[in-house]
Amino acid sequence: MRSISGGGVTSPPDARVARVDLPTVGRCEAVKLAMLPRDWGLAAAAVALLLDQGSKLLLLYGYGFKALGEALAPAIYSVPILPFFNLDMVWNPGVSYGLFPAHSRVGSTLLVFLSLVAISVLGWWLWQASRKTLTIGLGLIIGGAIGNNLIDRLIYGKVADFFHFYVLGYSWYVFNVADAAITLGVIALLYDALIRPEEPAGAGTSQVRE
């Protein structure tokens, strides 16, 4: 903008228009708005899978749990961490929390096949879902299932579990990050079903819901 002074036209000391960068918070909000519900689910699956496999690689090979567990077998290699928590080296032939153990090659192959079917169905559901809570829950389950029932079973033939909580004489199942992700995913699905039931096809709007 220019101003008129004493019959002449003058410019302010600095008439340049400064470029205003979008603040960091604003950019983050823009990214959130740009993400589709299924993007949140895919991100949750990736985080669950990376944390699960990263923790297993660290404990199995970084801290030698695999070699020490094999050396002490059939005893369990255990490292006390807190009065109510140990790191134990336990090989689980079943699915999450030791359910449906498979002690043979046929059983392991069947579990891998069923896992592939379940992951495919959940993936299709995630892709079609329109709510963030639902897709995140599905993503956590998918990431945990890939980590436990596909990668571990294809590499080791069984699942590596480490985390052991116990209190007042009660001992919980030894589990891993994938088990925790699946549990949190199921809780998210239950929350979504109880609080925000799915609308009939064609009855919803195009808006993205939480």
Give the residue extent of every domain in the chain.
37-195
**CA 96 → CA 7, 18, 54, 127, distances in Å?**
85, 57, 18, 24
Task: Kindly tell me the burial class for residue 165, based on how many C-beta atoms sit within 10 Å of its own C-beta (0-12, 13-18, 19 or more).
Answer: middle
| Mean pLDDT of all residues in 111-138 | 93
The pLDDT of residue 141: 97
The pLDDT of residue 17: 45
Residues with a known catalytic role: 161, 179
| Mean pLDDT of all residues in 93-102 | 56
Q: What is the pLDDT of residues 165-183, one digit of tens each?
A: 999 889 988 999 999 999 9
The pLDDT of residue 20: 47
Which has the minimum average pLDDT: 13-27, 102-116, 132-146, 183-197? 13-27
What φ, ψ does residue 193 adopt, rounded to 5°?
-70, -35
Does the pLDDT at position 65 exceed 60?
Answer: yes
